[in-house]
Structure 1
């Protein structure tokens, strides 16, 4: 069961499971604790996992203050401090990976090992155009279902669309009672479109694993590789047959990769 944790001026909806070294999970656009279900279930025998709803998503309110990646990184840092966690492994996907980058840059002492899934240093022209298309689509789509069906074409593999996985995900989202407003989706996208960590990534000194989906048409492998090349000593791996969210489509493989990486980090430290 989750609960609201007070971090600064924000009540952040948080779920914690398991025992062991702390892991903080940071979701992407509109994603909530539920997006990490396979990790909360599959890694809780080895780690103390903390997942949360970003500001303006799910059960965490969107403050009146301007939305920025820096503010969301500070939210994550505030949550760890409110929980009394001195440092944690951190994993973020998509926009959550950009928050994770900013978290380790702004609060380096809080991060032990970093996993970035489907990431980028700065949006290239293609990714920026896609993000602005999603910003338009969320308002122009005739229904929430129509928006999700269109949006997910770029998020999940054809395999997941054809075997019914995407249909099940859509039904779960439609039934979820804590909807993100159209305006909050757009404010969230606006915060990331021009965000750029390119020149600061070499300041990251924690062990880092960068994962890309070989079939991801948004944060494509070259963008992910560009992040890995700028972080000293970072490891770069491609899941060749996967798209934007392999942690949901092939969770056993994804969990094994990040578990192996975090075990190596623990052995080194």
Structure 2
């Protein structure tokens, strides 16, 4: 693989080109095209953050623990912005835009949780990281679980946040309804990404979050196609078999007032992973890493620090 450097709002960011997935190395002119376009490198940016000081008493460790943050349905690195800055005080943090979103190209491989897990493995390869803690939120948790099945030796520990083992009927109905309005009412689709994901009082006090979601609504056919295939992928995921053979440290995180991925799904996930740690916040909604950042980052940092 060949890597280039470019600037981003987080300073120096390395742009990832290529993948271990053969299909990912070529980029179709159209997802529906029957033939492949001329070979092109897939641009797949990732951003990294690290400790400001190393090797000093009371500061960060000399060799900070690598941690990869995997976003959910939205798929962009920006979800972790404030969280990654906090975690980077103690760990080497990587986050990235998933295929077809923000600065990353779509590629040509069919979208599935397994494909997205392969992309995560490519990020680890390009960053030169042999093993990392993988933190996935929502759909990102499904991707993280698949990555652990795909390459268990590359995962030191798993943090499955607001995630699930297999979609429930409630989840299927919820995401099915969102998919139905995606093409005809994209702003309404974007509105549900906030209105259903946070406690109402928190939204009222943080109204710019809602306005930003509307401004970023998927208005183009290409944007809607990417979101639709991602919804299909998360609904098709079934990690039951993967959980049974998982043999590494796992932390399950959830919020009891989650209306997108209800808390009983995190309970089911934890029950399928004997010996895993579990923390359930009393409130925060589905996107509790954003609405409860202090509780989230302190729990994550404490758990990672206990590994090894």
- On whether the aligned pair clears a TM of 0.5, the verdict is yes
Deviation of the 1:125 alpha carbon: 0.8
Once the two structures are superposed, the pairs formed by residues 118-157 of structure 1 within 5 Å of their partners are 118-141=162-185, 143-144=186-187, 146-157=188-199
Secondary structure at 2:68 match in 1: strand
- Equivalent of residue 72 in structure 1, options 82, 95, 116: 116
Equivalent residue for 1:116, pick from 139, 144, 160: 160
In the TM superposition, 1:210-229 aligns within 5 A as 210-229=252-271
CA-atom RMSD in angstroms: 1.8
Listed one character per residue, the Cα deviations across residues 161-191 of structure 1 (whole Å, up to 9, x for unaligned) are 221x2x3223444556998701110011111
Task: Give me the whole-angstrom Cα distance separating, in 1, the residues matched to 2:281 and 2:245.
Answer: 27
1:33 aligns with 2:72: no
Q: 2:145·2:242 contact (CA, 8 Å) conserved in 1?
A: no
Name which structure has the greater RCO, CA cutoff 8 Å, separation 6+.
Answer: 1
1:40-88 CA-to-partner distances (Å, cap 9, x unmatched) read 2111110110000111221111122211111100100111011110101
Residue of structure 2 equivalent to 1:186: 228
Q: Which runs of no fewer than 5 residues in structure 1 stay unpaired? A: none
In the aligned structure 2, how far is the partner of 1:182 from the partner of 1:210?
31
Secondary structure class of the residue paired with 1:181: helix
Contact 2:194 2:210 in 1 (8 A): no
C-alpha separation between the residues in 2 aligned to 1:128 and 1:245? 18
1:106 to 142, 150, 156: 150
Within-5 A mapping of 1:30-69 = 30-69=74-113
Secondary structure of the equivalent of 1:36? helix
1:175-211, CA deviations, whole angstroms, 9 ceiling, x for partnerless residues?
5699870111001111121210112202111111101
Equivalent-residue separation in structure 1 for 2:242 and 2:225 (angstroms): 30
Distance in structure 1 (CA, Å) of the matches to 2:45 and 2:201: 32
**What is the number of equivalent residue pairs in this alignment?**
262
Q: Which runs of 5+ in 2 are unaligned?
A: 1-10, 20-24, 26-41, 52-63
> Aligned partners of 2:199, 2:75: CA distance in 1, in Å?
18
**TM-score, L = length of structure 1:** 0.92
The TM-score normalised by the length of structure 2 is 0.80
User: Based on CA coordinates, which of the two structures has the bigger radius of gyration?
Assistant: 2
SS in 2 for 1:54: coil
SS in 1 for 2:240: coil
**Range 179-188 or range 249-258, more displaced:** 179-188
- Runs (4+) of structure 1 moved beyond 4 Å? 173-180
1:252 aligns with 2:294: yes
